[in-house]
C-alpha cells in the first residue's frame, strides 16, 4: 500500500479517544482550511531519501481502554510487591508510609500534567515549591534550597562540582564505604581522568569497629588540595556519624567545603547539617511521601547557607518570594535563572532540565502533615523498630548485627551462619520476605552481610516473623 493510501485509510477509520481532531470529517475540514489534498504535502521539508524504509511494525493497537487495561493488569500482576510481601530492602530507596493526602496531591491534574505557565497562573504550584524549599530548609537548618534534582547521587555530584568551582581544587574525600549506586553516579559527575575537569575521589577509611568514618584517617588525607569532604549521616551502612562537627571544622581549617548527605526523615531526631556546620547539604526526597515505584520515586536536594558565594554556584532552578504589582500581595519568581543552563547554555552551572518537581509538591504536603512533632515521633519510631530488629536478629544463632548506633538501616552479618546472603534471601523469598540487600559484592571485606531497612511500616510481628524465618533458613 502506498503512503498516500495508508494516510487516507487512517483518516477514514474511527476517531481515537486521545485525539479530538481525528474525527474524520473534522480532519478533512482542517485539510480544506489549510488547502491541501493530501496531508503528505505538509511534510515536503523531509527529503524522500530520509523517509523510513518500510512501514512501522508495532504490536497491534489497543485503542479500547477495556482491552488496554486488561493487558496492563495481566502483565503487571506478575510482579510480587512489597505490600503483599514483607520487605527489608533499602539502600537509596526505602519503604515508608505514604500518607493518603500525598497520594491525592500527586494525582491532582493541575499539578500532574502541566509544564510551565505564567508566574501568576502558576502561583499555586510555585507556592508549593517555595513551601518545599522552606520546610526542607527548616529541617536542614539551611536557608537557601534549590528545587530538587534527579536523585541523591546527582545532588552529591552537583555539590562536589560546586565545591570544585568554589575552591578551584580537584580532590574530594569520600568514605570508602559508599552506597555503590550513589558512588557510580558521583564518579560519572567527576569526569574521567582524561578530562581537564576531572575530580579525583580519595577514599577515607571507615573504622571497622564502629562503622563510622575514621576521622584520624581523614585528618591525614585532608590538605590544601581538598575541594570538599563528602560524608553522610546516617551513612551508607546506616550508622550515625558522631563527629560531623569535627569533620566540618577540619574542612574549614583547610579551606575545603563540607558536603553532608542526610536522610530528611531522620531530622526530627538527628542533628541537621546546619547544626553540624556543614556547608552544603544533599540527600534524598523519596522518603518524604513518595512511593518507591521500583526506584522511580527517587529525587535529591541541594541546600546551603543563604550566602551569595554558594547561591551563585547552584545548577538548579529555584523560586523566590517576591511582591506583585498590588501592594501586600505575594508572588514567586525564579531566582538566579541566568546561571542555569537555560539562561547560559554551556556557560551555565552544570545543567538543569525536567527533574522531579511533582515530588517537590508532594514533599511539601508531607512535611506540613508531619510538623515538628511528627518528625520527632517518626524518627523515634524508626529508631525503636530498627533497634528492635537488631535485638531480635542478634538472638538468632549465627547471626549478628555489625554495628550499633544506626538509624533505619543495619548491617546484618551472616558470616557465622555459614550461609551466603544469596542463600538466606532465597529462603526468605519462599516465605514471602524480601531480605536486605547483599553487601558481599560491593564490600567484600564484610563477607556475607546484608543491609536491612526497618521503618515505621514494620510492626513487631513483622520483625519477629523475619527473625523466625531467618532462623529457619540458616538452620
Q: Kindly identify the residues of this chain, within the stretch 394-453, that bind other proteins according to CB under 8 A.
A: 405, 407, 425-426, 429, 434, 437
User: How many angstroms separate the CA atoms of 363 and 212, rounded?
Assistant: 29
Q: How far is the CB of 214 from other proteins (least distance, A)?
A: 16
Sign of the torsion formed by the C-alpha atoms of 206, 208, 210 and 216:
negative
Q: Which is nearer to other proteins, 223 or 426 (CB)?
A: 426
Q: Taking CB under 8 A as the criterion, which residues in 223-282 touch other proteins?
A: 233, 240-245, 267-272, 275
Q: Which is nearer to other proteins, 21 or 223 (CB)?
A: 21
User: How many angstroms separate the CA atoms of 423 and 320, rounded?
Assistant: 53
User: How many angstroms separate the CA atoms of 173 and 190, rounded?
Assistant: 12
Residue 202 in the binding site for other proteins (CB under 8 A):
no
User: How many angstroms separate the CA atoms of 90 and 452, rounded?
Assistant: 7
Q: Which is nearer to other proteins, 224 or 441 (CB)?
A: 441
User: How many angstroms separate the CA atoms of 229 and 253, rounded?
Assistant: 12
Residue 27 in the binding site for other proteins (CB under 8 A):
yes
- Burial pattern 265-298, b for ≥16 Cβ within 10 A else e, equals bbbbbbbbbbebbbbbbbbbbbbbbbbbeeeebb
SS3 213: strand
SS3 85: coil
Q: Which of 12, 34, 216, 475 binds other proteins (CB under 8 A)?
A: 34
User: How many angstroms separate the CA atoms of 227 and 256, rounded?
Assistant: 5
Q: Taking CB under 8 A as the criterion, which residues in 353-372 touch other proteins?
A: 353-359, 361, 364-365, 367-372
Question: Parallel, antiparallel, or unpaired for β 86-87 and 433-434?
Answer: parallel
Q: Which of 385, 402, 408, 419 binds other proteins (CB under 8 A)?
A: 385
Residue 49 in the binding site for other proteins (CB under 8 A):
yes
205-224 mask for other proteins (x: CB under 8 A)?
Answer: --------------------
SS3 219: helix
Q: Taking CB under 8 A as the criterion, which residues in 303-332 touch other proteins?
A: 306, 308, 311, 318-326, 329-332
Q: Which of 4, 220, 223, 384 binds other proteins (CB under 8 A)?
A: 384
468 CA to centre of own chain: 33
Q: Taking CB under 8 A as the criterion, which residues in 86-145 touch other proteins?
A: 87, 89, 91-93, 95, 98-99, 101, 103-105, 107-125, 127-128, 130-131, 133-135, 137-139, 141-145
Amino acid at each position: 500500500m502506498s503512503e498516500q493510501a495508508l494516510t487516507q485509510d487512517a483518516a477514514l477509520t474511527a476517531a481515537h479517544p486521545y485525539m479530538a481532531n481525528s474525527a474524520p470529517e473534522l480532519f478533512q475540514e482542517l485539510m480544506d482550511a489549510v488547502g491541501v489534498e493530501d496531508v503528505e504535502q505538509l511534510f515536503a521539508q523531509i527529503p524522500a531519501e530520509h523517509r523510513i524504509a518500510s512501514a512501522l511494525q508495532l504490536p497491534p493497537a489497543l485503542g479500547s481502554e477495556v482491552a488496554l487495561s486488561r493487558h496492563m493488569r495481566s502483565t503487571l500482576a506478575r510482579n510480587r510487591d512489597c505490600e503483599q510481601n514483607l520487605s527489608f530492602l533499602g539502600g537509596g530507596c526505602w519503604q515508608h508510609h505514604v500518607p493518603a493526602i500525598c497520594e491525592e496531591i500527586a494525582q491532582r491534574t493541575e499539578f500532574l500534567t502541566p509544564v510551565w505557565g505564567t508566574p501568576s497562573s502558576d502561583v499555586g504550584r510555585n507556592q508549593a515549591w517555595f513551601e518545599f524549599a522552606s520546610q526542607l530548609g527548616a529541617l536542614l537548618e539551611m536557608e537557601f534550597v534549590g528545587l530538587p534534582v534527579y536523585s541523591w547521587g546527582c545532588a552529591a555530584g552537583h555539590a562536589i562540582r560546586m565545591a570544585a568551582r568554589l575552591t578551584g581544587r580537584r580532590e574530594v574525600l569520600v568514605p570508602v564505604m559508599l552506597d555503590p549506586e550513589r558512588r557510580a553516579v558521583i564518579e560519572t559527575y567527576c569526569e574521567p581522568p582524561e578530562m581537564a575537569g576531572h575530580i579525583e575521589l580519595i577514599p577515607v577509611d571507615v573504622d571497622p569497629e564502629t562503622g563510622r568514618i575514621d576521622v584520624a584517617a581523614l585528618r591525614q588525607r585532608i590538605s590544601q588540595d581538598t575541594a570538599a569532604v563528602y560524608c553522610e549521616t546516617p551513612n551508607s551502612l546506616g550508622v550515625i556519624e558522631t563527629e560531623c562537627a569535627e569533620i566540618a571544622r577540619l574542612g574549614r581549617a583547610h579551606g575545603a567545603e563540607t558536603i553532608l548527605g542526610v536522610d530528611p526523615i531522620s531530622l526530627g531526631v538527628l542533628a541537621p547539617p546546619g547544626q553540624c556546620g556543614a556547608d552544603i547539604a544533599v540527600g534524598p526526597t523519596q522518603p518524604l511521601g513518595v512511593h518507591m515505584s521500583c526506584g522511580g520515586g527517587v529525587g535529591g536536594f541541594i541546600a546551603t547557607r543563604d550566602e551569595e558565594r554558594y547561591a551563585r554556584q547552584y545548577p538548579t532552578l529555584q523560586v523566590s518570594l517576591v511582591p506583585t504589582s498590588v501592594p501586600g500581595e505575594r508572588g514567586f519568581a525564579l531566582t538566579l535563572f541566568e546561571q542555569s543552563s537555560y539562561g547560559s547554555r554551556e556557560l551555565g552551572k552544570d545543567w538543569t532540565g525536567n527533574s522531579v518537581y511533582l515530588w517537590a509538591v508532594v514533599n511539601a504536603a508531607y512535611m506540613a502533615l508531619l510538623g515538628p512533632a511528627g518528625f520527632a515521633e517518626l524518627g523515634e519510631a524508626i529508631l525503636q523498630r530498627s533497634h528492635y530488629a537488631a535485638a531480635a536478629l542478634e538472638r538468632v544463632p549465627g547471626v549478628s548485627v555489625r554495628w550499633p548506633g544506626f538509624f533505619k538501616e543495619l548491617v546484618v552479618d551472616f558470616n557465622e551462619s555459614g550461609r551466603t546472603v544469596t542463600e538466606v534471601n532465597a529462603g526468605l523469598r519462599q516465605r514471602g520476605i524480601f531480605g536486605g540487600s547483599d553487601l558481599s559484592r560491593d564490600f567484600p571485606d564484610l563477607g556475607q552481610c546484608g543491609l536491612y531497612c526497618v521503618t515505621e511500616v514494620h510492626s513487631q510481628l513483622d520483625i519477629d516473623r523475619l527473625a523466625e524465618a531467618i532462623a529457619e533458613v540458616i538452620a
